[in-house]
Structure 1
Amino acid sequence: MMRALLVGLAILTSGVVNAAEPWDAAVRRLCTSLDQQDCWVKSGAALCDREQISCKNLPDHAPAVIIGRSGKRWNVRTEYGSGWVSERLMMLDSTRMR
């Protein structure tokens, strides 16, 4: 009992409870312009239509603007076209995270 109390107190005082900004919120906040360097689609990511019938690979660091989200995919606009990419392929500048 005392150990659990001490562990809880240590967590509260260490700042662990104050979690970092959720990834989805950071993506929505940082992916707002094609003229920025804070958010991009990873090299080789497939930019696909909604049904994933037609896809093309993007070059590295393709800036992206978020249009929407469905399941585990983001609907994005890039200078190479618009389409859907896997959430795993969205990259953010960690120094801009809150």
Structure 2
Amino acid sequence: MKVEKTLLGIKKKKTYPPITRDVLLSLKPLMKEGAVLSIKDIEQNRVRIEIPIWIIGDFANMDDMYDEYEAIVKEPCEAKIVFDKKTKEWKIYSR
């Protein structure tokens, strides 16, 4: 859910539908090795919301994982979870 302001400055809550099971199942191959979904790096415009996903691997130490994330985030992401605001559907786009 996101709070947005209208033209008159009145706050309006906007809700998004949950991600469907089929979309989540299509992420399964990416998650086998370990993946990072970066909420911090979301790209949003009037038409869509894009959540980037990077394949990062399996880590026991979170500090090592974060160091790897900082290095890999500079490269293009492996896939994106995309919400199309016009059709109100979630989709997966991968390279």
Instruction: Answer yes or no: same fold by TM over 0.5.
Output: no
Greater gyration radius:
1
The structure with more helix, counted as a fraction of residues: 1
TM-score using structure 1 length: 0.25
TM-score using structure 2 length: 0.25
